[in-house]
Amino acid sequence: MSGNIRGFGYLESLPPVTFRRLYQQPATALAIFRRMLPNLAKTIVTTLLYNETPVTLGDLEALVRPESYREREDAFSKLRRLHIITENNLDVSLDPVFKKNFRLAGDHHSFGVPCNAEDKKKITVQFLDDYATRQFEAILHYMVGTHNEVKPSKGVITLLTKGGLMERYGAGSSATITKNGFSFLLQDGNPQIWALLIQYLEMSEELGMEQTDVLHFLLMLGSLELGQAYSVNTLTETQKLMLADLRDYGIVYQRKSSSDRFYPTRLATTLTSESGGLRSASASMSSAMAKDAEEGKGFIILETNYRVYAYTDSPLQIAVLNLFVKLSTRYPNLVSGRISRRSIQEAIKMGITADQVIDYLSAHAHPQMRKSLVTLPPTVVDQIRLWQIEGERMRTTTGFLFKDFHSTQEFEEVAKYAEELGVLKWKKPARRCMFVTRHEQIADWLKRRAQQQQPKKVAA
Amino acid sequence: MPRAVKEIHQSTGVLIECDPSIKAIILKIDKDSGHGYIVEDLDDETLVVKEPKLAELKLRLEKILERTQMLEKDEESDPENPG
């Protein structure tokens, strides 16, 4: 991934204490279960949930087919890292706090207390969708510098500059978009929102807000129901403060800041949709944005001669296209231009990857283009990728170097394990060196192996 | 055979795979800057550098390459829209 926009995955790096505190709320425990665990890990959690006594690791592993070794390791590693399971020798049980609160999930005030009193003015789902779209698009418009009737609040602008999506040179000058900001624009809706919220989480700490409180609230939003009003009274002081900010992002709606109820918008209720349903969650968002659906569904035609025609008059879409297309002509409802080596390499210099460009083009391809077997002309797609490689002098992979293995045998074992996990990037047996993309599972494995071997050595 | 207990070493970094010629330039940059970039020199085409230093390294590499390579004229012209 280009740039350093942190998404939802960032939460995994929080310290154990934070997780323990997070699990004190059923809604949060459920949200983490739904959104952060792979399916196999969910099965393991449900297996353990109503077992009063610990289950042996062997029994749990027997649930998984031997050939799904990689998935199994992945699931266990995730559960360990999120501190959902605790292990005592070979006995596995759920974290007691997690277990207790996960059982409560479903009916608890941490899921928000619905406000059943009739609102004076009926708030429709359509209204909420419009509101969310308007607020969120205002942020995107502001980033590309187009004029829009809704201007984002000061808080939003601070968030964008703090998060490195925009930059301000000098105190009085207006902010301009950064490299990170460009790749942010090309992302899907849900990752965009999470990127903003993670930044918000960091900032809230600086402002002296309780981090777990903030996280509880964010994760709770995902389990609320669209179109339902929720009471403000059960929220903590921190969370009440947050409402004002979340209003600015279009995540919740309140008629007045003094109102005793708030409505989550679709941006909120899709926050913790299951990771598998992510695409569809953002798709449901865009199809819900009725006005945009027509344009958003597909407005780009890409021809084999690298010409691009985009049926749009949205300044936002034109600005995004302008990142990687050399636009030449503009008509009232159409812009046309051309993708060229230079336009792509300029985009790459800004931190946009060829894949992001291709994804964007195919996500917004005109219905006419979708009629053919392959949406985008393969020659153009290949060329875009080639242009990217051409500019690269070297291939880089972030990860971890392991060296100084005790023996060739140990090296080979670890290398084999890493390969099975799919994290091995490079190895050199002659030097007993290897490079892996993720180290947590290997470190875990080494630790457990060392523990298993220790007694044997003593005995021998 | 008795052996001193030694930990398996683990360090964070960015693995770079490139041509030997590019690697030679990277080695030179590293040497000139007082070895601020490289974590581990692995072989002719691979090395590990410090992650926070990667952007800076790329920039310096680009600068050096700019001096050595002729920039080709961009084939930007479009038959339908000259200029």
CB contact under 8 A, B12 and A402: no
DSSP secondary structure letter of residue A453: H
From start to end of chain B, where are the E strands? Answer: 9-18, 38-43, 46-49
Task: Identify the residue with better confidence: A327 or A117.
Answer: A327
Domain boundary among A350, A372, A391: A391
Token pair, residue A70, equals 């990689």
CA distance A181 to A183: 6
In chain A, the percentage of residues whose pLDDT exceeds 70 is 87
For A235, left (φ over 0), alpha (ψ -120 to 50), or beta?
A: beta
Q: Mark which residues 333-362 of A lie under 8 Å from B by CB.
A: 338, 340-342
For the stretch A407-444, pLDDT in tens is 888 888 888 888 888 788 888 888 888 899 888 778 88
Q: Which amino acid is at A8?
A: F
| pLDDT recorded at residue A460 | 41
| pLDDT recorded at residue A140 | 85
DSSP secondary structure letter of residue A30: H
CA distance B37 to B53: 6
Chain B nearest-CA distance from A109, in A, is 43
Closest CA to A84 of A72, A99, A70: A99
Token pair, residue A364, equals 């917004």
Q: Is residue A306's pLDDT more than 90?
A: yes
In the sheet where A326-331 sits, what is the strand order?
A300-302, A307-310, A334-338, A326-331
Low-confidence winner among A291-295, A312-316, A348-352, A399-403 (lowest mean pLDDT): A291-295
Task: Identify the residue with better confidence: A78 or A109.
Answer: A78
- Print the domain residue range for A428: 400-459
Q: Is residue A22 part of a domain?
A: yes
Q: Is residue A269 part of a domain?
A: yes
Examine the domain organization and report whether A321 and A221 are in the same domain. Answer: no
Q: Is residue A293's pLDDT more than 60?
A: no
Ranges of chain B with pLDDT below 70:
1-7, 68-83
Examine the domain organization and report whether A103 and A222 are in the same domain. Answer: no
CA nearest A407 in B: which residue? B8
Beta bridge partners of A427: A434
CB contact under 8 A, A395 and B17: yes
Q: Is residue A41 part of a domain?
A: yes
A340, A393, A425 ranked by CB distance to B18: nearest: A393
Assess contact for A181 and A159: CB atoms under 8 A.
Answer: no
Assess contact for B39 and B49: CB atoms under 8 A.
Answer: yes
**Distance from first CA to last CA of chain A, Å, rounded?**
49
Low-confidence winner among A285-289, A397-401, A454-458 (lowest mean pLDDT): A285-289
CB contact under 8 A, B17 and A342: no
Examine the domain organization and report whether A267 and A222 are in the same domain. Answer: yes
Q: Is residue A283's pLDDT more than 50?
A: no
Interface of B with A (CB under 8 A): 3, 6-19, 22, 39-40, 42-43, 46, 48, 51, 54, 58, 61-62, 65, 74-76, 78, 81
Examine the domain organization and report whether A145 and A179 are in the same domain. Answer: yes
CA distance A379 to A383: 6
CA distance A182 to A403: 38
Assess contact for A319 and A146: CB atoms under 8 A.
Answer: yes
Full set of structural domains in chain B with CATH: 14-66 (3.30.70.1220)
Q: Where are the alpha helices (DSSP H) in A37-107?
A: 39-49, 57-61, 69-81, 96-104
- Other CB atoms within a 10 A radius of the CB of residue A458 amount to 7
Q: How far is CA A136 from the centre of its chain?
A: 17
Q: Is residue A286's pLDDT more than 80?
A: no
Domain boundary among A244, A276, A308: A276
Q: Is residue A53 part of a domain?
A: yes
Task: Give the CATH number, domain containing residue A32.
Answer: 1.10.10
| pLDDT recorded at residue A349 | 79
DSSP secondary structure letter of residue A50: T
| Helix (DSSP H) and strand (DSSP E) numbers for chain A | 22, 15
Determine which of A348, A401, A403, A404 to mutate to test the interface with B (most B C-beta atoms within 10 Å): A401
Low-confidence winner among A67-71, A222-226, A264-268, A282-286 (lowest mean pLDDT): A282-286
Q: Is residue A282's pLDDT more than 70?
A: no
For the stretch A126-168, pLDDT in tens is 888 888 888 888 888 888 877 666 778 888 888 888 888 888 7
SS3 state of residue A160:
helix
Query: What ipTM score was computed for the predicted complex, to two decimals?
Result: 0.75
- Structural domains of chain A, count: 4
Q: Are strands A91-94 and A307-310 parallel, antiparallel or unpaired?
A: unpaired
Type and span of the H or E element at A94: strand A91-94
